[in-house]
Homo-oligomer: A and B are copies of this chain.
């Protein structure tokens, strides 16, 4: 993308309404723009990151055996009356009346709808186990939306729903999602810690939150230091096979949110292994048995022909929220520092002197060598403005090309995360950048 023709607006001023750093940076870097309280439009750079994050989530769901569907945003109220949640949900549910005076709602979650869909087709124990997920916009009418996409009203969520013939099967589905979640966050360069959690309005008796550590996190968490050293991608490189070793490993050390903190257990941990940090919730998984399948009449015939009510779980990842969490965990005073896996573009090509024949030619060569992975800052701005924008947006690499280097065919590469600088011939610079994408 050539910046002279692109719609990648950055803001010089810090918007007054933004209280946390990720919100400020997302507005300033031109990732999002507010359209109503707690509702945002995604501008080109923000959308690119949102799609990369979504794609990692999708790949790991698929690897874990879940199958993608897409449920609509608007749901009929009747389904929620069947489960008994219609009245429970209160004012957070955006209730809608259509032209025929039918009660509808903008879905905040999909337990009821997916159970109803699955019921149409699943007839026998042979139709189990199944896990269906979708990545869809949800709405929760927060009384005080704030912190940008961290606590918005319209937000993108991945929610998966597992159906099993019995409790042991359901726990296996739960363990597979548990591992998939660890892998998903690790691939985005995040350290997410699973913590036992309350089940809240979803219900059930087994639940974990996945929490990312960040100084600016919304709540305090307590964990054993060992958890910081576990690397799920090294522990279980394929992500297939029995998930139990990974789950057992991660649940064998103390980790708790403020709500669930057990002071006696905490005090039993050696002081040098106690870590108290702030955290941001990015995922939440639940096993809730027959809480929805039973009232909604989902049964299948078991191996002996008698009806069985499937055991269910649900598994959520806040996809749009993840962008804010990634920024909270990775930024400095100059702007965002994207992990390679989710950066909007791998590289910004900064032409320090548009119009200089050698600089123009080298920039064009580099740009052509990185299709879809580079923005080319060909604007007639001064060099300082280009550096500032590239730092603010946080491309992992900056390729700085001026007349002097260009005359010798040399590209100066700057790594955003470390500030490290390398002077390389074109081909080596391309190889360096491509290696970080793969």
Contacts and interface: CB of A to CB of B under 8 A. Distances in A.
Interface in A48-98: 50, 65, 67-76, 91-92, 94, 96, 98
A9 interface: yes
A40 interface: yes
Interface residues of A, number: 50
Nearest to A9: B121
B98 A69 contact: no
A7 B30 CA distance: 40
Contact of A99 (B44, B68, B91, B137): B91
Interface stretch (A31-39, A325-333, A359-367): A31-39
Interface in A8-55: 9, 30, 33, 35-36, 39-44, 47, 50
A69 B46 CA distance: 8
Contacts of A36: 72, 74-76, 102, 104
Q: Which of A39, A130, A143 has the most CB of B within 10 A?
A: A39
A234 to B, nearest CB: 25
B69 A47 contact: yes
A106 interface: yes
Contacts of A43: 69, 117
Contacts of A75: 35-36
Contacts of A91: 99
Nearest to A118: B7
B7 A130 contact: yes
A72 B39 contact: yes
Contacts of A132: 7
A35 B69 CA distance: 13
A130 B3 CA distance: 12
Interface in A137-186: 137, 139, 141, 143, 153-154
Nearest to A372: B62
Contact of A74 (B42, B106, B113): B106
B65 A154 contact: no
The 7 closest A-B pairs by CB, nearest first: A9-B121, A42-B70, A41-B71, A91-B99, A36-B76, A72-B154, A99-B141
Interface of A: 1, 5-7, 9, 30, 33, 35-36, 39-44, 47, 50, 65, 67-76, 91-92, 94, 96, 98-99, 102, 104, 106, 113, 116-117, 120-121, 130, 132, 137, 139, 141, 143, 153-154
